Amino acid sequence: MLRLGAHMSVAGGLEKAFERAAQVESDAVQIFTSNQRQWKGREVTDEMVAAFTAAQGETDIKPVVSHNSYLVNLASPKDDLWEKSINGQIQELERCEKLGIPFVVAHPGAHTGSGREAGIERIVQALDRIHGDLPGYEVVTLLETTAGQGTTIGGQFEDLAAIISQVKEPERVGVCLDTCHIFVAGYDIRDPESYAETMGQFDEHVGIEWLKAMHFNDSKGELGSNRDRHDYIGQGEIGAEGFRSFMNDERLDGLPALLETDKSEDLHEDREAIELLRSLVA
């Protein structure tokens, strides 16, 4: 069975994410290790690592997934932004390696006019640089499927396949599949037949073995709209039935599936969504 969870705030300390995740009976959790809208990253101290490790040890919440900064664009043709993005990703991987977080989700980036092939080449070069600078690291970068808006890369499964096939150390990358993103990028998942077709395409172009995590989001946008607007499970264009196939796909057993929708202070939205998803298991 999938390990369900949500993105949780780390206000008050990184370790607080486990307390919040436990409130909604999560199996897994996603966090930001640093401010996602700033280049200057948080320094992780030994004391922070100890608190984080202790808090996780008191729960069965695993894996922890981090999401990198929204500012990072490894596909950028602009050298200054590209270098800042590489440095930003390195800092995120360093924090996660220190904290024992196995996965960092990263948007592949946007080519901003240089073209898809040039953007993919830029991403591959960036990842090779990063891996060369951090030899022996266990943390894996998960390239997220995107909504296909503008010049973003990752709206087609072939984009991710091209990146994975070209990096020198492919074992250090994987894929995070976002249900909202693939739906608005044109991949239907609303019924068993369309689900089988979409996952068949993913397996053909990328390979199921590269799928390491998922973002479970319903969609405010229609199929193929390229409109990246998350909605609560069962309240959007995908609908609750669109998640039944995911919840009963044995190939996905053990993978984290994480909610990324707005929530109230009492977190009832996440709790209700997780209950709904578990009710879909045959």
7 is catalytic: no
Catalytic residue among 43, 60, 70, 169: 70
131 is catalytic: no
Catalytic residue among 159, 178, 218, 270: 178
**Whether the Cβ atoms of residue 146 and residue 155 lie closer than 8 Å to each other:** yes
144 is catalytic: yes
Catalytic residue among 3, 131, 172, 181: 181
205 is catalytic: no
Catalytic residue among 144, 159, 237, 270: 144
Q: What is the DSSP string of 141-205?
A: EEEEP----TTBS-SSHHHHHHHHHHSS-GGGEEEEEEHHHHHHTT---SSHHHHHHHHHHHHHH
181 is catalytic: yes
268 is catalytic: no
Q: For residue 161, with 0-12 CB atoms within 10 Å meaning exposed, 13-18 middle and 19 or more buried, which class applies?
A: middle
**Whether the Cβ atoms of residue 228 and residue 180 lie closer than 8 Å to each other:** yes
Catalytic residue among 195, 215, 232, 237: 215
70 is catalytic: yes
Say if strands 230-231 and 218-219 run parallel, antiparallel, or are unpaired. antiparallel
Catalytic residue among 122, 230, 232, 270: 230
203 is catalytic: no
Positions marked active-site:
37, 67, 70, 107, 144, 178, 181, 215, 228, 230, 260
